[in-house]
A = this chain, B = another copy of it.
Amino acid sequence: MMLNDVRMKGFKKRMHFLDVFDVIREHVKCAGSESVSVDDCVSRVTFGDVRAQLDAPPFNKSAVDGYAVLARDTYGASQYNPAKLKIVGECAAGESCGVVMKGEALRIMTGGMVPTGACACVMAEYCEEKDGYVLVYKPVAEALNVCMQGEDVKRGTIAVHKGVRITPYCAGVLASVGCSEVTVFRKPNVAIIVTGSELVESKPKSGQIIDSNSHTLCALVCDCGGEVLSKKRVGDDYESIKGEIVSSDADVIIVTGATSCGKKDYVPLVVDECGELLVHGVAMKPAGPFGVGKVGGKIVFLLPGNPVAACVAFDFFVRFALEVMVGIYDGEKILVKGVLARKVASAVGRTDIFRVKYCNGVVEPVRVGGSGVLSSMIRANAYLVVPENIDGYAKGTEVSVRLF
């Protein structure tokens, strides 16, 4: 029945770590788009370039409280020889304003429209009012303290490029240029299937374990912009696993556990039978028993049941897939450089992923008792990847780490 039944035989051949990304890129589909209000756009990803519908700012705007003047009227002004300008009016924010001519000044508030004629604003701190005049104690250059119309973003230009995760600052820019609706990628929806007859929600009996993976994975899916469509726990039996995988409507299916070469590791068999098993077994640690498949046009990720391995497999492979689905190809997690506080020893021929604590230039590998020690992920804040052609790094080596 099975072409690739590896149960109890071990992986014949493990794929190179970097090759897995190529397979994923080739097989995931774009998530499609939807339109959302600027109020709801934060953490979404722009589907196309977003062009400004308005100049920002929409007019020459004072950046200070003070006086709108002609810059050349203030040249040579000093503490002992202030420029004396006639106050011809006042312009508060939101108001329309007059004209300023040579020898004149207009009282202006931050955000106020700089009047025709004026080309700079002097801060109130450097001025003194006296009998309808203002004494200016400091010269200003042209355009000083003026936010020029369109200097932030010009109407018609690209305010935010496509494939950008919208930050709070980004949302502010979009609002300011009149983009009240934004076209973003639809959130990829994800089905999480946790396998393991030993797993229970709570109150474990002898031989039973509380399922922690579903909690971690749900949160990680949301963290990288996906949506959890369903979350199921199934026992180690072929038909239940098959039923869940085949009936899912999700864009992405994540199955944890039963992905390796054990007698009851049915997930690779199900995927192979019902679709295509593209990757099974990766030359890496942790998360070696990782796999990728396709069933009914949907991508299926086979994550090891070991909680740390599941986290690593998610953070490198599933996160990458979800990012590609929303048009992000370079990866969003920031790489930082730091110096290793202790050596790390790795195996040649295998990509090793260490959990490390990065703090202001220093990379401290987290001491771990065993590969299943999920609490090590609490003490870490970054991953250090040691490529397969390297057997580790000496203390003091400068390395790049990937922040969680």
Residues of chain A whose beta carbon lies under 8 Å from any beta carbon of chain B: 8-11, 38-39, 42, 54, 56-59, 61, 63-65, 90, 92-97, 107, 109-113, 123-126, 129, 147-148, 151-153, 159-160, 164, 167-178, 180, 196-199, 202-204, 206-213, 215-220, 222-223, 235-236, 257, 260-265, 304-307, 311, 334-338, 358-361, 369-375, 377-378, 381, 400, 403-404
Interface pairs (24), CB distance under 8 Å: A9-B124, A42-B219, A59-B206, A63-B372, A93-B197, A93-B207, A95-B197, A95-B198, A110-B305, A111-B257, A111-B305, A113-B207, A151-B372, A168-B218, A168-B223, A169-B216, A170-B378, A172-B213, A173-B212, A176-B307, A178-B210, A334-B336, A337-B337, A403-B403
Interchain CA distance A164-B375 in the complex, whole Å: 13
The interface residues of chain B lying within 8 Å CB-to-CB of A372 are 57, 61, 63, 147, 151-152
Interchain CA distance A44-B82 in the complex, whole Å: 57
Q: Which 6 A-B pairs have the closest CB atoms?
A: A10-B125, A65-B262, A94-B198, A168-B219, A337-B361, A172-B216
> Are A63 and B306 in touch, CB under 8 angstroms?
yes
Main secondary structure of the interface of A (DSSP, over half): loop
> Are B159 and A375 in touch, CB under 8 angstroms?
yes
The interface residues of chain B lying within 8 Å CB-to-CB of A148 are 369-370
The interface residues of chain B lying within 8 Å CB-to-CB of A403 are 334, 403
* A246 → chain B closest CB, angstroms: 23
Task: Give the residue name and chain of the B residue nearest to A378 (CB).
Answer: B170
Interchain CA distance A261-B209 in the complex, whole Å: 63
The interface residues of chain B lying within 8 Å CB-to-CB of A264 are 92-93, 109
* A95 → chain B closest CB, angstroms: 6
Task: Give the residue name and chain of the B residue nearest to A170 (CB).
Answer: B378
User: Are A110 and B171 also in contact (CB < 8 A) when A54-B204, A202-B178, A336-B358 are?
Assistant: no
* A228 → chain B closest CB, angstroms: 11
Interchain CA distance A340-B217 in the complex, whole Å: 38
